[in-house]
Amino acid sequence: MKNILKTIAITLLIATTSCDTEYLDPNSTLEPDVVNNTDNLVRLINGVQQRWSTERTGLIYTSTHISGLNTDELRLLNPGNLGENEILLGGDDVSGSNELLINMWTNALLTRKEATTVIDAADDVSESTSVSGSLKAYGLFYRALAHGTLIQYFESIPLEIVENAEFIERSAVLENVISDLNEAKNYIDAGLDASITADIFTSVDIENSINALLARFNLMAGNYDAAITAANNVDLSVKSTWEYDASIPNPLAFWFGSQNVTQAKDLTFGLPTELLPDEDDERIPFYITAEDLEAEIPNYQVVGFWSDNTDEIPVYLPGEISLIKAEAYARNNDLANAVAELNTVLTKTSTTDIFGLGANLPEYDGTMEQSAILDEIYRNRRVELYLTGLSLEDSRRFDRPGATETDAERNRDYYPYPNSERDNNTNTPANPSS
């Protein structure tokens, strides 16, 4: 990673200028010398990436654990981890004081604030439209990622960076996310400036990541044709990852490796009996192992992208892109194309996937009915996209039994708003009932 000490210094400056006596304040003002030149804005972008992808407080850890404990992807090893234990219990055991929810909310809104700072300052630090456009593209990407992630866990969120901001409902948030991504795409299509990209962490392929997020969030918004178009623009031969090293470790690998917080629950991937993975699915051993799989109660362990502290975590997976197209076609009742995309995932092998993730299964042989095809797509999303933080959103979108239903497949539908927001924003809505 480049310029690590400078990036950390900028991030620390942001943190210290963004807090009050209780919480980091996502509405506070950055020091002027943070935003007065291009170099500092580049360092701020790198700091945003680190805020998002590192530490137990970052969004990679919190989104994976909130969704993973909610939807039975993970088990808790030590209930003394109170935040994780509350998420595992679900229901009324989760309150606005939950540590994971506060960390997710605070760091997503700080990501949003810092990204917006880059966007707003870009025109002032350079007369070059190429330079300012490049800065804006990165800022818009991270702002969209922050809003799009939060709205998967909360019924509504604030979009404005003001005191007592109004909360905006889900469909409008997704519309805003998609607008930011489309604007970022326009800047990228105009050409990124090498003077900017040379000093930004290169593991995140910004062009393909923006197209992948456009596909992801258009699918969530029900814009199926737009989701297909965006997915077709993703180059599946290019990796886009969150990168780590010995000094800044993969946060999931680090905490799984501690054997004191969470681990893989079992080989079901949180799926019900009628949708269990095929025993021959080669994605199972890619993601989960045990020293003795034949033991009465195997000690299942997460592997995949989280076995070593320096493992990179994908921003998106090629399989997600194919499954987005499969689902979009299926919901448009274009079942032939839906099955064709589904088969791409089912028959993919470890040698044909850039991350070595392949099911290596036969093609779909079920009935050509929309409901059956959607069930198969859901099964494959839960296996292919294990621990990507998408399982809660998927469970709701595929109308699986919710928190208050018989045979519930999730323990909450949405989460209470963190006290860090409620204590500082009089417009915070009532908490959801489930």
24 residue type, one letter: L
Q: What is the pLDDT of residues 291-333, one digit of tens each?
A: 999 999 999 999 999 999 999 999 999 999 999 999 999 999 9
Residue 227 falls inside a structural domain = yes
User: Which pLDDT score, from 0 to 100, does residue 159 have?
Assistant: 98
Residue 402 falls inside a structural domain = yes
CATH code of the domain in which 229 resides: 1.25.40.390
Eight-class DSSP state of 24: B
The encoded tokens of residue 413 equal 């539908």
- Give the C-alpha separation, 211 to 227, whole Å: 9
Range 196-200, long-range pairs (CB < 8 A, 24+ positions):
196/38, 196/42, 196/131, 196/134, 196/135, 196/138, 197/134, 199/2, 199/3, 199/39, 199/42, 199/46, 200/42, 200/45, 200/46, 200/138
Question: 21 pLDDT exceeds 50?
Answer: no
Q: What is the mean pLDDT of residues 335-357?
A: 99
Nearest to 153 by CA among 100, 225, 113: 100
Domain count, the chain: 1
Residue 429 falls inside a structural domain = no
How many CB atoms are located within 10 Å of the residue 217 CB? 27
The encoded tokens of residue 193 equal 């400036």
Question: 284 pLDDT exceeds 70?
Answer: yes
User: Which pLDDT score, from 0 to 100, does residue 17 have?
Assistant: 36
- Give the C-alpha separation, 241 to 428, whole Å: 34
User: Which pLDDT score, from 0 to 100, does residue 214 have?
Assistant: 99
Question: 14 pLDDT exceeds 60?
Answer: no
Question: 78 pLDDT exceeds 80?
Answer: yes
Q: What is the pLDDT of residues 125-140, one digit of tens each?
A: 999 999 999 999 999 9
How many CB atoms are located within 10 Å of the residue 421 CB? 23
Question: 27 pLDDT exceeds 80?
Answer: no
Residue 434 falls inside a structural domain = no
Q: At what angle do helices 129-150 and 170-189 cross, to 10 degrees?
A: 150
Instruction: Tell me the pLDDT band of 13, cut-offs 50, 70 and 90.
Output: very low
Eight-class DSSP state of 334: -
Residue 370 falls inside a structural domain = yes
Alpha-helix residue ranges (DSSP H) falling in 78-169: 82-89, 99-125, 129-150
Give pTM, 2 decimals.
0.94
User: Which pLDDT score, from 0 to 100, does residue 35 have?
Assistant: 78
77 residue type, one letter: L
The encoded tokens of residue 114 equal 């810092």
Residue 432 falls inside a structural domain = no
Look up the domain containing 305 and give its range: 4-422
User: Which pLDDT score, from 0 to 100, does residue 33 have?
Assistant: 65
User: Which pLDDT score, from 0 to 100, does residue 394 have?
Assistant: 99
- Give the C-alpha separation, 235 to 212, whole Å: 9
Question: 29 pLDDT exceeds 80?
Answer: no
Eight-class DSSP state of 426: T
Place of tokens 């989280």: 306
- Give the C-alpha separation, 65 to 299, whole Å: 19
Question: 339 pLDDT exceeds 80?
Answer: yes
Q: What is the pLDDT of residues 410-432, one digit of tens each?
A: 999 999 999 999 999 999 999 99
* 17/66: higher pLDDT: 66
Whole-angstrom CA distances from 129 to 136, 327, 409, 415 are 10, 38, 49, 41
Residue 333 falls inside a structural domain = yes
User: Which pLDDT score, from 0 to 100, does residue 229 have?
Assistant: 99
Q: What is the pLDDT of residues 173-207, one digit of tens each?
A: 999 999 999 999 999 999 999 999 999 999 999 99
Where are the strands (E) in 189-340, listed by range? 241-242, 262-264, 288-289, 301-302, 313-314
The encoded tokens of residue 10 equal 């900028």
The encoded tokens of residue 376 equal 């198969």
CB contact at 8 A, 24 and 17: no
Q: What is the pLDDT of residues 210-260, one digit of tens each?
A: 999 999 999 999 999 999 999 999 999 999 999 999 999 999 999 999 999
User: Which pLDDT score, from 0 to 100, does residue 6 have?
Assistant: 43
Question: 15 pLDDT exceeds 70?
Answer: no
Q: What is the mean pLDDT of the chain?
A: 94
Instruction: Tell me the pLDDT band of 3, cut-offs 50, 70 and 90.
Output: very low
Residue 33 falls inside a structural domain = yes
Nearest to 101 by CA among 175, 163, 93: 93
User: Which pLDDT score, from 0 to 100, does residue 36 have?
Assistant: 83
User: Which pLDDT score, from 0 to 100, does residue 31 have?
Assistant: 55
Place of tokens 């994971």: 100
Q: What is the pLDDT of residues 378-410, one digit of tens each?
A: 999 999 999 999 999 999 999 999 999 999 999
